[in-house]
Amino acid sequence: MPALEASSTDQTLNAHLAAEVSKRRTFAIISHPDAGKTTLTEKLLLYGGAVNLAGSVTSRRDQRATTSDWMELEKQRGISVSSTVLQFEYGGCVINLLDTPGHKDFSEDTYRVLTAVDAAVMVIDAGKGIESQTRKLFEVCRLRGVPIFTFMNKMDRPSRPPLELLDELESVLGIHAMPLNWPMGDGPEFRGVFDRETKQVHLFERTSQGAYRAPVKVRDIEDELVRETMDPGVYRRVCEELSLLEGAGSTFDLEAVRAGKLTPVFFGSAANNFGVQLLMDRFLELAPPPASRKFAGGSVEPTEKGFSGFVFKIQANMNPKHRDRVAFIRIVSGTFERDMVVINTRSGKRIRLSNSQRLFAKERETIDTAFAGDVVGIVGNHDFLMGDTLAERPDVIFDEIPRFAPECFAFLHNTSSAKFKRFREGLEQLLKEGLAQPFQLPDSYQYIPLLGAVGPLQFEVLKYRLETEYGAECRVEVMDWRIARWMKPAQETPPGEKPTRPHVPSGSKLALDADNSFVVLLPDAWAVKSLETHNKDWTIQSTPPKKGPSQ
């Protein structure tokens, strides 16, 4: 009888875990800068009931700040410079929304966030179409097989023809597009959207600065109110476009969406709250729950009992008063319980996860239980590194976090010897966040930190945070190197012998990365050709070599 009771209990627990996992929707919002990504994030929070008044990303001083842009520098510059986790419940789902930096200089942070999501909403400025950063982020999603939902934003401004925008999705990005609603005009003539599933028109009214939900009237497209609201020429054109779409005979394929081969397309205006709820409701219905994840020894299902997860982001000083450090963990499988003991499979150490937090930008609350698909913040001084796997099984090691080649380099000088300790400790912490990559010059007699980054704005943020969060004044000396090449000799150096070094072209520099691998920093493509010509017996890589399990 006890065995039967234990079996019944296990079945109940398994059913509970499966039910919880099925509710999870973990996704990121991606876009080119200024396409409206942070604005859409704020409006999803408004419609999800997570905030009562939506903030603005404009520079008006009397408007409320956005929830996702919590860092002081973000408020000053009006851009997102760090990814943010926002968790809330809506429509029977538990939503983990990850807002990402749009600026290309912070693409490393965005790429890391995309390892932690199960879907992405791609925001496109309908007046401009697909832009460079959009294309790069789309390719990252495609490589990972992440389903993409498209929101054509800013329809309240003069926009490109919607059929042209759909064609661009297919011709430029190479993904089939299926519009689930259709804009009723654009610019000053934009009145709402036509829901192709219900065959109903949603007419919207503007609210003051888009801070509140937009009042909406739902009517049949033949309704007199719809005709009276719209310009006759615009109404006629919309009806012709809808007729063309219906004549094409395309059918919606949910499996193709979840395989990343078809993108559902929505039209609207995030600033005015037009079409936001239609996007949110349909997204939660169509987006996939957490899926299995592969590791070197096999794969892990989200409904497995054993807990596993990985660190995809580290953030210091979210609460400057406490000088704390938060490791963001994406739960891959099982149930998380506060105070549980897990293994950091990189170090082999057993760690108690005691100070666990549910995150909402910089706000947080203690959380006792979480499930696969959730993002949990672990506060404390655990020696976590980006990409660490935390699991109950020691053989589970996820290799999720990509490494990138820097495209700009700078020396960071400490300008106050009295504050050197603050400078050293602050820099060490910010480097753990992945804000820049450290290098060292093997022949240098004086240690001055040499940093690499994808874009120069990363140096500006690092300097700002060192000075404001750690009180360590510093100076950035930008160098002329633009390209990095990792070097490995064809034959390993015998033990006890001095390692051979590659030939380094004029104007270039030999350095060591954090793993003590040789890296040559070069100014231009001509130097790269010279490097390749004079180092035939070396393996040359344009990206950092993958770390081994022991590293």
Amino acid at 226: V
Question: What does the pLDDT read at residue 70?
Answer: 40
Residue 126 and residue 265 in one domain: yes
Residue 32 and residue 13 in one domain: yes
Integer Cα distance of 297 and 56 in angstroms: 47
Of 257, 286, 315, at which residue does a domain stop?
286
Question: What does the pLDDT read at residue 209?
Answer: 62
Residue 74 and residue 191 in one domain: yes
Phi-psi label, residue 145: left if phi above 0, alpha if psi -120 to 50, beta otherwise = left
Mean pLDDT by 10 residues, the chain (551 residues): 56 86 95 88 86 47 45 48 77 90 67 92 96 87 93 97 96 96 95 94 78 77 92 96 88 94 96 92 97 92 95 80 82 96 94 88 84 94 88 92 89 94 93 92 87 90 92 96 94 78 95 94 97 95 71 41
Of 286, 319, 350, at which residue does a domain stop?
286
The 8-class DSSP code of residue 274 comes to: B
Domain assignment of residue 485, given as a range: 408-541
Residue 273 and residue 305 in one domain: no
Question: What does the pLDDT read at residue 5?
Answer: 52
Enclosing H/E stretch for 453 = strand 450-453
Tell whether the torsion through CA atoms of 509, 529, 502 and 519 is positive or negative: positive
CB hemisphere CA count around 468 (13 angstroms): 14
Cβ contacts of 56 within 8 Å, gap of 6 or more: 39, 42, 63, 64, 66, 209, 210, 211
Mutual orientation of helices 37-47 and 276-286 as an angle, nearest 10°?
80
Provide the number of structural domains found in the chain: 3
Does residue 546 lie in a domain region?
no
Question: What does the pLDDT read at residue 2?
Answer: 57
Phi, psi of 135 (to 5 degrees): -65, -45
Does residue 157 lie in a domain region?
yes
- Burial code of 458-481, b = ≥16 C-beta within 10 A, e = fewer? bbbbbbbbbbebbebbbeeeeeeb
Residue 197 and residue 51 in one domain: yes
pTM (two decimals): 0.85
CATH at 336: 2.40.30.10
Integer Cα distance of 41 and 66 in angstroms: 9
Of 337, 357, 391, at which residue does a domain stop?
391
Residue 158 and residue 262 in one domain: yes
What does pLDDT average to over the chain?
Answer: 87
Residue 304 and residue 439 in one domain: no
Does residue 90 lie in a domain region?
no
Integer Cα distance of 45 and 66 in angstroms: 10
Q: Which residue is listed with tokens 């807990």? A: 307
Residue 468 and residue 517 in one domain: yes
Residue 422 and residue 384 in one domain: no
Does residue 115 lie in a domain region?
no
Integer Cα distance of 398 and 134 in angstroms: 27
Each residue's pLDDT tens digit, 236-274: 999 999 999 998 877 899 999 999 999 999 999 999 989
Does residue 378 lie in a domain region?
yes
Residue 50 and residue 151 in one domain: yes
Residue 64 and residue 196 in one domain: yes
Residue 263 and residue 368 in one domain: no
Does residue 400 lie in a domain region?
no
Question: What does the pLDDT read at residue 520?
Answer: 98
Question: What does the pLDDT read at residue 63?
Answer: 45
Q: Which residue is listed with tokens 């950092």? A: 544
